[in-house]
A and B are shown apart, each in its own frame.
Chain A
Amino acid sequence: MNPRGGWALIKRTWASWMQHRSFFFLLAFGWMIPPLIYLFVWSTAAGGETVGGLTRGEFVAYYLILILVNQLTYAQTNWTVGDLIRDGSMNVWLLRPMSPIYNALSTEIAGKVVYMLFTAPVALVLAIFLRPEATFSLGNTLLFIPSLLFAWALRFFWGYWLALLAYWTTRAQAFLSLQDSLIFLLGGQVAPMVLLPGSMAWIARLLPFRYMVGFPVEVLMGILPSDELVFGLIAQAGWMVMAMALYLFLWCIGTRRYEAVGG
């Protein structure tokens, strides 16, 4: 651990990302579209009535919050970690006197700031036009903060241990595409978890993917009964600890196995 070096790295990465912000704004735009599609689909479906207990305005609110939460928890570093291992650039990070996790963390922080500079104003403008309806109680807002942090940590470490599989197989990217599809289906993007058909909702409740994106949104919207809320928070924390443990384990045995490729 080397906090001072890590902090310097974070500052440097942030400065360099801000320079290329138009590129990252475009990336953020692309990530906004899939939730936006389902915003339109479900708010059309609700029309003047309710679907699964949610009104048109509540669907708009759900998906606008989901757009923000999705980009705040999306860990794009996981795609690059696999590449670093494959092409041997991991050498550079291993030689520095600090843990390579700082590399991932610095891009995470830089990324979140840059993406939010684009996404937050756009979501605000959309909110003015699409008229969301939601009441945020104080309790739900307070619970939202830890659930968002847990969601970020869970998604980050879950993706990181998947990316570390690149130590054993050169095809680790396939696991990440699989994870993205599962998050799309079970994470609350295709529909809020409460609207998924019976068996799918059960699977979503048990697997970690809902806790990466959809769960914090449900918490903030206050659409969960209190026993579901408690169960969700425990499951989220449990999966997060599990993901961290897997990361530490794979990191320790993987780095020992690592043989740099190329020159």
Chain B
Amino acid sequence: MYHLRLIGSFAKISAQNEMAYRANFWISLLNSALNLVTGILGVWVLFEQIETLNGWDLPATLAILGVYLSVGALRGLFISPSLDTLTGMDGEVWTGKFDFTLLKPVDVQFQASFRHWHPLALIDLALGLGVLYLAVSQMGSSFTAGSLLSFAVALAIAMTLLYAILLVFAGLVFWSPGFLFTWVFDGIFQMARYPVGIYPTWLQWLLTWLVPIGIITTVPAEAFTGNLNLSMLVGSGLFALVAVICASLVFRLGVRRYASASS
């Protein structure tokens, strides 16, 4: 309860902070629109030339894009703004400002994960879900309570997994403060805007097991195609759980290595 109240005040402060810069709203809107338009046109150009791609047609590929955009939006809502303050050349670990975070009487991992919010990411979330809605109605499948529920569960699992990955990267910063772990991951994560099934087999394997971005976007989209069975859901849920536990361990080990900066 206490933690939920804290999240509430973190979100409120962040929202007030952002509202102070009104022009930012328009820039943010422009970037959301660009993201949406490039995503959709990218898929459209492809399906102007061909009917199906390794068994994926236009609506199914658009559904993946919708999930990709929604996952990216949820990440931009709090995970990235919070964790990114640790990393990089002006990050807290490099500059030693992490001292102040450690001194606060709240769990470090909780603070590091929830303290900054970016409410404008909700626009991206609406756009992403909109793309998904259009794609699913094109497929001819209807929205039932069951499919919506399994989508919500699968999306929660996907976000947990993504959070675990980003938390590991945030933890690794304590070993190598200047390394751009997230930049590398972001590059690879872009591959998730298309179904993993269209990549060569070795890359599919890599994208499912080594960097599980396939699970992050493909599994939630499958909730609407009817390909999602309970064992898949439970299996990926367990996988996400193990990933979060391991990630927390890495992060905590990292925090113990922290030796502040300079004197």
- Select B30's contact among A44, A177, A190, beta carbons within 8 Å: A177
B191 nearest in chain A by CB position = A37
Say whether B187 contacts A184, CB under 8 Å: no
A36 nearest in chain B by CB position = B191
Say whether A178 contacts B200, CB under 8 Å: no
Say whether B180 contacts A40, CB under 8 Å: no
Say whether A185 contacts B27, CB under 8 Å: no
A8 at the B interface (CB under 8 A): no
Say whether B30 contacts A174, CB under 8 Å: yes
**Segment among A22-30, A63-71, A132-140, A144-152 that sits at the interface with chain B:** A22-30
A196 to B54 CA separation, bound complex (whole angstroms)? 21
Say whether B45 contacts A29, CB under 8 Å: no
Say whether A26 contacts B180, CB under 8 Å: yes
Q: Which of B27-81 contact A (CB under 8 A)?
A: 27, 30-31, 34, 37-38, 41-42, 44-46, 48-50, 53-54
A212 at the B interface (CB under 8 A): no
Total count of chain A residues near the partner, CB < 8 A: 30
Say whether A27 contacts B183, CB under 8 Å: yes
Say whether A178 contacts B30, CB under 8 Å: yes
Say whether A195 contacts B49, CB under 8 Å: yes
- Select B194's contact among A26, A30, A41, beta carbons within 8 Å: A41
With contacts A33-B188, A44-B199, A185-B38 taken as known, whether A51 is within 8 angstroms of B49 at the C-beta atoms is yes
1/0 contact string of B167-210 vs chain A (CB within 8 Å): 00000000000111001101110110110001110010000000
A168 to B136 CA separation, bound complex (whole angstroms)? 45
Say whether B199 contacts A40, CB under 8 Å: yes
B35 nearest in chain A by CB position = A181
Of the listed residues B37, B38, B183, B187, the one surrounded by the most CB atoms of chain A closer than 10 A to its CB is B187
Q: Which of A115-145 contact B (CB under 8 A)?
A: none
A173 to B24 CA separation, bound complex (whole angstroms)? 11
A196 to B193 CA separation, bound complex (whole angstroms)? 20
Say whether A37 contacts B190, CB under 8 Å: yes
Say whether A51 contacts B50, CB under 8 Å: yes
Q: Which of A40-93 contact B (CB under 8 A)?
A: 40-42, 44-45, 51-52
- Select B23's contact among A44, A51, A171, A177, beta carbons within 8 Å: A171
With contacts A45-B50, A184-B38, A195-B45 taken as known, whether A34 is within 8 angstroms of B30 at the C-beta atoms is no
Say whether B41 contacts A44, CB under 8 Å: no
- Select B184's contact among A26, A34, A41, beta carbons within 8 Å: A26
A29 to B194 CA separation, bound complex (whole angstroms)? 19
B181 nearest in chain A by CB position = A26
A44 to B197 CA separation, bound complex (whole angstroms)? 10
A98 to B190 CA separation, bound complex (whole angstroms)? 42
Taking CB atoms, residues of chain A closer than 8 Å to B45 are: 190-191, 195-197, 200
A33 nearest in chain B by CB position = B187
Taking CB atoms, residues of chain A closer than 8 Å to B44 are: 197
A112 to B190 CA separation, bound complex (whole angstroms)? 24
Of the listed residues A23, A45, A195, the one surrounded by the most CB atoms of chain B closer than 10 A to its CB is A45
- Select A44's contact among B42, B54, B186, beta carbons within 8 Å: B54
Task: List A residues at the B interface (Cβ < 8 Å).
Answer: 23, 26-27, 29-30, 32-34, 37, 40-42, 44-45, 51-52, 171, 173-174, 177-178, 181, 184-185, 190-191, 195-197, 200
Given contacts A32-B187, A41-B198, list 9 more A-B pairs with CB under 8 A: A26-B179, A27-B180, A29-B184, A30-B183, A34-B190, A37-B191, A174-B27, A195-B49, A197-B44
Task: List B residues at the A interface (Cβ < 8 Å).
Answer: 23, 27, 30-31, 34, 37-38, 41-42, 44-46, 48-50, 53-54, 178-180, 183-184, 186-188, 190-191, 193-194, 198-200, 203
Can you give 6 contacting A-B residue pairs, CB < 8 Å?
A: A26-B180, A41-B53, A181-B34, A190-B38, A197-B44, A200-B45
Which A-B residue pairs are the 5 nearest by beta carbons?
Answer: A33-B187, A30-B187, A181-B34, A197-B48, A190-B42
